[in-house]
Chain A
Amino acid sequence: MNLVDFLQIWIIAFFTLSLFSFLYKDNPFYKIAEHIFAGLSAGYYVGLIWHSVIIQQMIDPMLNNDKWWLVFPGLLGVLMFSRFSKRFSWISRMSLAFVMGNTAGIFLLSELHGKVLPQIQSTMMSLNPGQGFADFLLALVIVVGVLSTLIYFYFSKEHKGALGKAAKVGIWMIMISFGAHFGYTVMARISLLIGRVQFLIDDWCGSIIQLF
């Protein structure tokens, strides 16, 4: 292990332990780690955007490939800075209007084509018991689940009688879904802890052992 790798491991270990120290209580080490992370991220992000967007996708094509028209999107970007002035902040709305119109156009198609239609199609399942018990049960759960959950979110009529009972089934479906989400969230958070512990034990402790 060379000196750079060694230092890198120790810096990572220091910040990992500083952040973990918050579990005991708030302290200066935690604050230092938090502030350094925020500052570094902002600096890195500015540098990356400057190089990969401003230089590579605007200035270079304008100067080298005669794409002079890129000055217009560039100008729209500059107009966003008018938000810093109370008097001229209305100018930034032109850029925002462009972004909103553009985004709405792209998402209208992609949401409809990529989500709404295929998802509706996939809930139109055959409830024929002849297809085998397991397939029938799966289809039944999906059809009942979708319909009852949609009924739960129908607020134009009071949830009473048959509508109320169907809405109750909908709540149960939503609760089961929350349970699945919670289980997966626990797994995710524990995975992150395992990753840090693996680093501290394998890499950091490994580097200490190498010292002796």
Chain B
Amino acid sequence: MNLWLILAYVLLIAAGIFLLYKAFKSGDRRFIYLAVAFYVIFPVLITLHLPIEISPEVRQLYKAVESLPDSATVLLTFDYYPSTLAETEPMSRGALHHLFRKHCRIVTMTTVPLGGPSIAERVTRNLAEEYGKVYGIDFVNLGYKANYVAVLKGMGSSIETIYPTDNSGTPLSDIPIMKDIKSYSDMDFIYVVSDNGIVDYWMSIVNAQYDIRVGTGVTAVMAPRFYAYLQAGQMTGMLGGMKGAADYEMLVNQPGTATKGMTAQSLVHLFIILSVIAGNVVFIIEKKRKRQGAKV
């Protein structure tokens, strides 16, 4: 490894410790913001590749997709708002790389109104171009429909009733890929990428009632909740936050923004661990001092 790079990172860690000291001394939390900013900006500017250990739940999802037959039909959802793009878009991109490479037929949709339809359109078309896939034959974007419970339930009996047209207004009957995809029973796998509680309904309504395998990519805030589904064997693999996205990028051999962001992620986590320890030490010392002061 480059000696200058090591020196730069040592200086960065020293600066973080100094800012933490200043924050404790002055009681101004903005010093901590500044330290976090340093730890995020620096690794984006000068990349240091820290090793990434792939999580078992990510490997499980990868294997599930890998085991699908060629030209299998997969429903890929874009159930997320633009505010969580940093975590969710790399998941969608990783999924699309994997699915297009396997020549799967992809149906995309969203239950999120703000941004969902356009993100699905942009990301899917962008990667389809890379793999030479044709809209309407290899993939289709159904877009958004309100009232997700009705949408999830209704698609079990007829997709066309819920989505009479695709995202750009073309009737489903005019789209070749939709000729033999009428409901969940014509699909092999559901890949949900989400930043909200809709995952619960994909599990309890679609997975449980229509007996179709569901794999998910969720934001880190939501991930701990869904381990219960994994442990129960209801969910087929899960990508949790940027780490899950980075793992998947590694597995499909397409390192992208998530992989690039993991160094910053690790540095900030180390800084937060240090802050928590330092905060507790300062708290204990002050408590002891107060006790001694009270005795005197």
Contact = CB atoms under 8 A, between A and B. Distances in A.
A177 B41 CA distance: 31
A196 B149 CA distance: 32
Contacts of A24: 30
Contact of B83 (A57, A106, A190, A192): A192
A23 interface: yes
Given A49-B113, A110-B209, A113-B204, A186 B86 contact: no
Contacts, number: 133
A49 B146 contact: yes
Nearest to B223: A184
B221 interface: yes
B209 A193 contact: no
B102 interface: no
A118 interface: yes
A8 interface: no
A121 interface: yes
A75 B146 CA distance: 18
Interface string B79-102: 000011111000000000000000
B242 interface: yes
B243 A187 contact: yes
B203 interface: yes
B231 A184 contact: no
Dominant secondary structure of chain A at its interface with chain B:
helix
B260 A41 contact: no
Max chain A Cβ within 10 angstroms of own Cβ: one of B153, B231, B260: B231
A113 to B, nearest CB: 5
Interface in B177-235: 200-201, 203-205, 207-209, 219-221, 223-224, 228, 231-234
A187 B261 contact: no
30 contacts: A45-B113, A45-B114, A57-B164, A109-B209, A110-B205, A110-B208, A111-B204, A113-B208, A114-B204, A114-B205, A114-B208, A114-B234, A115-B204, A118-B208, A119-B232, A122-B233, A177-B224, A180-B224, A181-B224, A184-B223, A188-B87, A188-B219, A188-B220, A188-B241, A190-B40, A191-B261, A194-B44, A197-B41, A197-B44, A198-B86
Interface of A: 23-24, 41, 44-45, 48-49, 52-53, 56-57, 60-61, 103, 106, 109-111, 113-115, 118-119, 121-122, 142, 177, 180-181, 184-188, 190-198, 201-202
